[in-house]
Each structure stands twice: as C-alpha cells, then as structure tokens.
Structure 1
Amino acid sequence: MKTHLYLLLLAAGISAAPQMSSMAELLTLLQQMCESMANDVQNLRIETPDNIDDVNCVSTIFEGTEQLKTHPAMKKFSVFFQKFERLKQSLTPSLAKEGKCDTERMNATRFMEKLMTFVRKASKKTRL
C-alpha cells in the first residue's frame, strides 16, 4: 500500500513539474523584459488593476498584455507572449464569472511589475 501511494505521489510530481518550470521560465522572461524595456515603453499607458489579487481583474491583465504585445519594442519578447497565452488558456474558464474591476492607466513599467506579481501568484496556485 505504501508503495502504491509513493508511486501516485511520484506521478503527480512528475506531471506538475513541466508546468512549474514553465511558470519559472515565464517569470524569468518577464524580468528580462522589465529590465531591458523600461525606457522604451515609458510613454505607453496601460489599464492596470488597482488590486492584482482581485479575481474580477484577470481579463484586464490579459488585455493589458495584449496592448503591451503590440508595441514595436516588444517584438523581441514574442516567446514570453506565446508562453503567457498558454497561461491565459488555463485560466479562461474563470473569466466568464468576472465582475467589476477597479483600474487605473499606468505606465508600462508599472503594469509589468503588477504582471510579474500576477504570474508569481498564479505559479503558487499551480503548486498546490
């Protein structure tokens, strides 16, 4: 019985590992993007949730990411946007239940900081 339980836990750990490494890679790419693009996107204003923990603001985060993606300086970070799209697909079922989200137009650097917080929190939820 203990062996069976051990094998189940091992299988669960193996299946969760790719998603966690993908989230870590997503965070790394986002950090690089923040560091290298801070000056290039300073004038870009993006609708940013006041409270990143508000479940009603998930679609606002994805809309802001789409706006960021269309900026010419962001073309070299296409890998980040492709990986982020996968995260969006995994969260899509919860988007239909959204309510009102309080937002403010902030510069792109501030939006990316909040986006990083959002990805960190999403990666913690995938580990549970």
Structure 2
Amino acid sequence: MQTHLYLLLLAAGISAAPQMSSMAELLTLLQQMHESATKDVQNLRIETPDDIDDVNCVSRIFEGAEQLKTNPAMKKYSVFFQKFERLKQSLTPSLAKEGNCDTERKNATTFIKKLMTFIRKASKPARV
C-alpha cells in the first residue's frame, strides 16, 4: 500500500513538472518583454483589468495578450505567445458566462506586470 502511494505521488509530480517549467519559462519571457516594452511600445495602451483576481476578467487578460501579440515590436517574443496559447486552456477557469469586468486602458508595461501576476497566481496550486 505504501509503495502504491509513493508511485502515485511520483507520477503526479512528474506530470506537474512540465506545466510548472512552462510557467517559469513564461515568466522569464514576460520579464524580458517588460524590459523591452519600456522602450519599444511606450504608446501602446491595452484594456487592463483593475482586479487581476476577478474571475470575470480572465477573457480580458487573454484579449490584452492578443493585442500585445499583434504589435510589431513584440514579434520577437512569438515563443512566449505560442507557449501562452498552449497553457491558455489550463489557465482559463471553466465559467459558463463572465460578468462585468472593470478595466482601464493602461500602457503595455502595466499590462505585462498584471499578466505576470496572473500567471504566478495561476501556477500556484489551489488550496483545499
């Protein structure tokens, strides 16, 4: 019985490792994007949720990432956008319909900071 439990925990750890590694990679790429955005996309304004923890704002986060992706200065970060798209399914809560989300158009660096916070929080295991 103890061996069975150990093998089960080992399998769970192995299956979680790629996602955590991907999250760490996303955050590293986002940090690079943030540094680049301070000089490359100063005039870009993105609808940014006021409260990153609001489940009604998840789709706004992905819409903002799409807007960032279309900016020519961000083409060099296509790897981030590909990885983010792959993780989108696991990051999106299964909601039937989102409610209202308070947003404000903010510069790209502010949006990227909020996106980093969102990914960090999404990568933490849920407390039971």
TM range (shorter): over 0.9
Contact 1:59 1:95 in 2 (8 A): no
Q: Which consecutive unaligned segments of at least 5 residues does structure 1 have?
A: none
Whole-Å Cα distance in 2 between the matches of residues 73 and 126 of structure 1? 35
Whole-Å Cα distance in 2 between the matches of residues 24 and 46 of structure 1? 24
TM-score by length of 1: 0.93
Tell me the alpha carbon deviations over residues 33-56 of structure 1, each in whole angstroms, 9 at most, x when there is no partner.
111221111100000000000000
Question: Match of 2:94, SS?
Answer: helix
Whole-Å Cα distance in 2 between the matches of residues 127 and 16 of structure 1? 16
Whole-Å Cα distance in 2 between the matches of residues 23 and 9 of structure 1? 21
What is the letter of the counterpart of residue 80 of structure 1? F
**Larger mean Cα displacement after TM superposition, 22-31 or 35-44:** 35-44
Q: Which consecutive unaligned segments of at least 5 residues does structure 2 have?
A: none
1:126–1:83 CA distance, 2 compared to 1 (3 A): farther
Aligned length: 128
1:118–1:100 CA distance, 2 compared to 1 (3 A): same
Whole-Å Cα distance in 1 between the matches of residues 126 and 22 of structure 2? 11
* Segments ≥4 residues shifted beyond 4 Å: none
Give 1:126 deviation, angstroms: 7.1
| RMSD, aligned CA | 1.7
Aligned to 1:51: 51
Whole-Å Cα distance in 2 between the matches of residues 95 and 84 of structure 1? 19
